[in-house]
Amino acid sequence: MKNLFNIAGKVALVTGGSRGIGEMIATGYVENGARVYISSRKREVCEGIAAELSTRGTCIALPFDLSTLEGISALAAEVGKREGKLDILVNNAGAAWGEPIDSYSESGWDKVVDLNMKSPFFLTQKVLPLLRAAATADSPARVINIASINGIVPPELETFAYSSSKAGCIMLTRHLAKRLAAENILVNAIAPGPFQSQMMAATLATHGDAIRASNPRGRIGTPEDIAGVAIFLASRASAYTTGAVVPCDGGAAEV
């Protein structure tokens, strides 16, 4: 019982790991002894965060563009060259797009839906051999999809593709969980509420006080909040949990 949340020695891949929620999760994993690969589109930023996190543990940058199948396949192949197994995949890379309903663009829709829903599926597919190599009955491999409370409760903002894709991410999580449980691969999702991130920066700058005031916890999320849930879903503590969606929102989805 003393080691329920131990992830030391596990190999993890966190997409979108160079900023925001992805960086928070990667930091939690690194500081708790995991060997962490982070991926993002911007090489300089990705390598800079990896270098910073490497002062606290093991973090390796693998910059790839996950908006294309070529980038997804290349990332999976690179991880496979370096590791014989993958214990934890965190599908966090994502995008948002807001436009009035009367002018909402097809390009904005496609960008968001592809990155938020298509890319997690195909990256999971491409790294399945590594997840299978790590998976045992006593120590299952993990896939953790980062959804959103906007996939549970419709937002006020006109971010139609974002909320739809995050709802789709939740069903994808459940479908993958059903398919992969027999192979000792657990698939769960986290549905974050407001956190300080680049995606939320503009919203928090203009509506931050109102968002904090309306949240039952009276604040926005901290790195420890999201990292704690991600560590739980990667550790022995959640070995009997799959297909779950864990809100990490201070109760905002219940208001």
Catalytic hit among 37, 104, 162, 240: 162
What three-state secondary structure class fits 22? Answer: helix
DSSP assignments along 156-213, one per residue: SSS-HHHHHHHHHHHHHHHHHHHHHGGGTEEEEEEEE--BSSHHHHHHHHHHHHHHHH
246 strand-pairing partners: 190
240 is catalytic: no
Q: Return all residues near 202 (Cβ < 8 A) that are at least 6 apart.
A: none
Q: How far apart are CA 178 and CA 45, in angstroms?
A: 36
φ, ψ of residue 203 to 5 degrees: the values are -65, -45
Q: Which of 18, 23, 252, 244 is nearest to 144 (CA)?
A: 244
Report, as residue numbers or ranges, the catalytic residues: 162
